[in-house]
Amino acid sequence: MSLRGEVCVVTGAGGFLGKRLVRLLLEEEQAAEIRLLDKQVQPQLLESLEDCRGDTQLTVYEGDIRDGEFLRKSCRGASTVFHIAAIIDVKDSVEYSEIHGVNVKGTQLLLEACIQENVVSFIFTSTIEVMGPNPRGEPIINGSEDTVYECALKFAYSKTKKEAERRTLEAHGELLQNGGRLATCALRPMYIYGEGCRFLLGHMGDGIRNKDVLFRMSQPEARVNPVYVGNVASGHLQAARSLKDPQKRNAIGGKFYFISDDTPLVSYSDFNHVVMAPLGFNIQEKLMYPLWLLYTVCFLMEMLCTMVRPLVRIVPPLNRQLVTMLNTPFSFSYQKAKRDLGYAPRHTWEEARKRTTEWLASELPKERERIRAT
């Protein structure tokens, strides 16, 4: 099935994954119109898409995901919505009301807009973090959609994405205004890397400040499976195609799928080193501090920040949940997405690594200059 001639909405279109998905839609689907919905869309994005635009109309919708009328206008006449927009926060630096408003309320309002405006397909970008890891750091190795895991989510980000995912999947089969039915599904990507990844840039900046030695925050045995941004975009496209297929629509509707690829299992810190070693970066051999000490320091910092929060909001640079996430083996298979959606990684690990390293190389001089200037 194809989205050719249809109207697609991409929320978070100006972000890391959103930009990649828009380009993929232009290159492969020849949609009649793609609506780029975001709080702000840089003019450079539209310019960068001219080489693959063809006859597809690109329309920018700038506004607040919490504005129901704005969402209705954005969805009017559309057939497929890719909901990527979210606040990503692994340090609990954003007030809960703000992150809940965007991640949960925004998703609910968008679902309601789809029902009111007769949008038939809704693909939600979830995250591996709705699974955990739990505070005990219990590992999952090559998990699947059927894996049972006792999880008590701590991050506001994890909690709100889990709730938004739940609402999305429960909306499958909702009656549209025209008598049709809404079909929904959710994708849970692993940690996404590639050109434009702000987390990789941040780690590279920290390494520059540390005389080109990357900090080790993960034990080597805490292996995860990061996923390349181009493959995540491909997973979204396959999900949309499958929801259009009458034979697959009800079979996959209301379900979630893990999206990974053939990137080798590696710890978060060692992954940073793999893509930055060709640029001359080394990595610390051992953790900066023993895990028990990191947990203790984080606990004390969290208690202190809680005590002074009525007066001032202080965000510690590290917390116990982040330390747990960085040091828990946590990997998942994409085999169900392959079977049900026809998903397969279109970019090999070698290609993904090469592209990521080349992008980091292009950013390295600017990052060094920025750090020298501060």
Active site residues: 157
* Tokens matching residue 108: 């609910």
Helices (H), the chain: 16-28, 43-48, 68-75, 96-100, 106-116, 156-170, 198-209, 229-244, 249-252, 268-276, 291-308, 320-326, 335-341, 349-373
What is the Cβ-side half-sphere exposure of residue 338, based on CA atoms within 13 angstroms? 11
How far apart CA 321 and CA 333 sit, in angstroms, is: 23
How far apart CA 220 and CA 286 sit, in angstroms, is: 9
Q: Which of 90, 84, 130 has the alpha carbon at shortest distance from 107? A: 84
What are the C-alpha distances in Å from 10 to residues 51, 56, 60, 290? 19, 14, 10, 43
Q: Which of 37, 36, 22 has the alpha carbon at shortest distance from 67? A: 37
How far apart CA 50 and CA 60 sit, in angstroms, is: 14
What are the C-alpha distances in Å from 164 to residues 156, 248, 255? 12, 23, 13
Q: Quick count: other Cβ atoms within 10 Å of Cβ 257?
A: 26
Answer yes or no: are the C-beta atoms of 288 and 374 closer than 8 Å. Answer: no
